[in-house]
Amino acid sequence: MSSKKSKATGPGRLAGRVAWVSGATSGIGEAVAELFAREGAKVALVGRRVELGQKIANRINRATPGAAIALGCDVSKESDVQASIAATVKKFGRLDLLINNAGMVEVLDLHEYTEAQWDRVMNVNVKSMFFAFKHAFPHLRKAKRGYVVNVGSISSFVGQARTPVYTTSKHAILGLTRSIALDYAAHGVRCNCICPGITETPMLWEHLNVRPDPQAALAERLRRVPMGVSLSPLDVAKSILFFSCEDSAGVTGTSLTIDCGYLTAAEWTSDKTLFQENV
Ligand SMILES: NC(=O)c1ccc[n+]([C@@H]2O[C@H](COP(=O)([O-])OP(=O)(O)OC[C@H]3O[C@@H](n4cnc5c(N)ncnc54)[C@H](O)[C@@H]3O)[C@@H](O)[C@H]2O)c1
């Protein structure tokens, strides 16, 4: 950015910054917490499984002492979200980065859903982001450069079989991202959305395990991916880092798809061997 206020980029890109990361007890959120700590941030690992969160925080603290805490929180409950944000600020003195990563999927056809199942997916995936922003905003404003990263999906753009409410929730996240970006830009808040494709995390396997042969289902799906490979949680975490630091200065209200080319073609049969020979 040409502004004189634009901050330097480089190693330790999050030095002095404090992050709240939801769903940090596994998969992408866990990778974000580790990467952010390596980049100099203090990190609150937020999730329901606090013992698991504590184990991950201990591992992070062995490499970067004092960088991580674990906080129990069901992101669909406003009181939990409010308390976890307050605890983060109490521990680290500020809050600069809100990473809305927690999410869930329910594999059912729409007519099979109960109202409670619909509400659960929407509450965990979308309403949680409203709660988090609402309670984080006073701190983000104070931080001057308070950044929000919402985790969407390729399902933010297209449908996927038997996950209609997940798809609805992930489309909604794009609208929420743009609204936050617009309404809070004057407060120095930037808000962007990361949209991952096939990423090898527990959630992916939950999705695939309903198939008779999950490995074959993954291989079949990867045949539609031009690069022919899946993403690691760290791959996605690096994109989240981009939106969380000055490398993306001036970027707000947008989305970044990281999907090994999945959405670029209506039809595709990948040649994984060719990709692996060449790269
Ligand atoms: N894995 C993929 O292929 C993929 C693709 C696109 C988008 N995503 C998105 O990435 C994000 C992270 O998912 P992941 O793939 O790392 O899977 P994951 O299952 O490892 O992580 C999801 C995390 O959210 C937590 N969570 C779920 N409900 C919660 C609640 N009510 N309160 C607090 N925490 C809760 C889970 O405990 C878990 O730690 C999700 O938003 C998901 O939709 C994943």
User: To test ligand 1's pocket by mutation, which of 73, 104, 120, 209 has the most ligand atoms within 8 angstroms of CB?
Assistant: 104
The dihedral built from the CA positions of residue 134, 173, 198 and 204, taken in this order, carries a sign that is positive
Q: Is 239 within 8 Å of 201 (Cβ atoms)?
A: no
Give phi and psi for 98, each to the nearest 5.
Answer: -110, 115
pLDDT of residue 5: 55
pLDDT of residue 2: 46
Look up residue 21 and give its two tokens: 């990361």
Instruction: Verify whether ligand 1 is closer than 6 Å to residue 123 (CB atom).
Output: no
Name the E strands within 10-166.
Answer: 18-22, 42-47, 68-72, 97-100, 147-151
Is 262 among the residues known to form the active site?
no
Atom of ligand 1 lying closest to residue 123 CA: 31
Instruction: Verify whether ligand 1 is closer than 6 Å to residue 119 (CB atom).
Output: no
pTM for this entry: 0.96
Q: Is 13 within 8 Å of 241 (Cβ atoms)?
A: yes
* Nearest in space to 68 (alpha carbons), one of 94, 97, 102, 36: 36
pLDDT of residue 217: 93
Please identify every stretch of the chain with a pLDDT value under 70, giving residue numbers as ranges: 1-11, 272
Instruction: Verify whether ligand 1 is closer than 6 Å to residue 27 (CB atom).
Output: yes
User: To test ligand 1's pocket by mutation, which of 20, 22, 28 has the most ligand atoms within 8 angstroms of CB?
Assistant: 28
Look up residue 63 and give its two tokens: 């490499």
Instruction: Verify whether ligand 1 is closer than 6 Å to residue 169 (CB atom).
Output: no
Mean predicted lDDT score pLDDT of the chain = 94
* Nearest in space to 226 (alpha carbons), one of 177, 169, 194, 265: 265
Domain ranges (residues) in the chain: 18-198+230-261
Assign a CATH topology to domain 18-198+230-261.
Answer: Rossmann fold (3.40.50)
Q: What angle do CA 67, 139, 251 make, to 5 degrees?
A: 85
pLDDT of residue 1: 46
